[in-house]
């Protein structure tokens, strides 16, 4: 079974530029999550989708971050404009549904903002 796919693996941008990350969850998984992991910290949930609807985006900085999950499958996370403090690993995860506790994580995208 294929795992959660993310791209790109690495990205370096200058502050005030924009960037987008892509995630393809495990086939059949209705729930998709984006986490931000700053160096030295545990992952923090940014947004949770159930199919193509948002379940929780309470910790998403909506002035600069946006996410969408068209057709309830793939998802993109965008940052515009980026700040230095956005440097982090962005992890995508998926699970069968909101009632399932186990989430499967992708390898992440490491973003460096200079």
Partner 1 sequence: AQSVTQLDSQVPVFEEAPVELRCNYSSSVSVYLFWYVQYPNQGLQLLLKYLSGSTLVKGINGFEAEFNKSQTSFHLRKPSVHISDTAEYFCAVSARPGKLIFGQGTELSVKP
**Rule CB under 8 A: which residues touch partner 1?**
4, 31, 33, 40-45, 48, 55-56, 91, 93, 95, 98-108
Q: Going by DSSP bridges, is the β-strand pair 44-50/31-37 parallel, antiparallel, or unpaired? A: antiparallel
Residue 84 and residue 70 in contact, taking contact as beta carbons nearer than 8 Å:
no
User: Minimum CB separation from partner 1 for residue 40, in Å?
Assistant: 7
Residue 29 or residue 79: which is nearer to partner 1 going by CB?
A: 29
User: Minimum CB separation from partner 1 for residue 87, in Å?
Assistant: 16
Residue 65 or residue 90: which is nearer to partner 1 going by CB?
A: 90
Residue 10 or residue 83: which is nearer to partner 1 going by CB?
A: 10
User: Minimum CB separation from partner 1 for residue 98, in Å?
Assistant: 5
Q: Going by DSSP bridges, is the β-strand pair 10-13/65-68 parallel, antiparallel, or unpaired? A: unpaired
For the sheet with 5-7, list strands across it: 5-7, 19-24, 75-79, 65-68
DSSP state of 80: S
């Amino acid at each position: 079974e294929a795992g959660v796919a993310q791209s790109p693996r690495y990205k370096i941008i200058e502050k005030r530029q924009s960037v987008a990350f892509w995630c393809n969850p495990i086939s059949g998984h209705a729930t998709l999550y984006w986490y931000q992991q700053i160096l030295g910290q545990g992952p923090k949930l940014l947004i949770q989708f159930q199919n193509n609807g948002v379940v929780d985006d309470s910790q998403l900085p909506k002035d600069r971050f946006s996410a969408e999950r068209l057709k309830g499958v793939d998802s993109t996370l965008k940052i515009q404009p980026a700040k230095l403090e956005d440097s982090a690993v962005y992890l995508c995860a998926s699970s069968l549904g909101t009632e399932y506790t186990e989430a499967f994580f992708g390898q992440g995208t490491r973003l460096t903002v200079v």
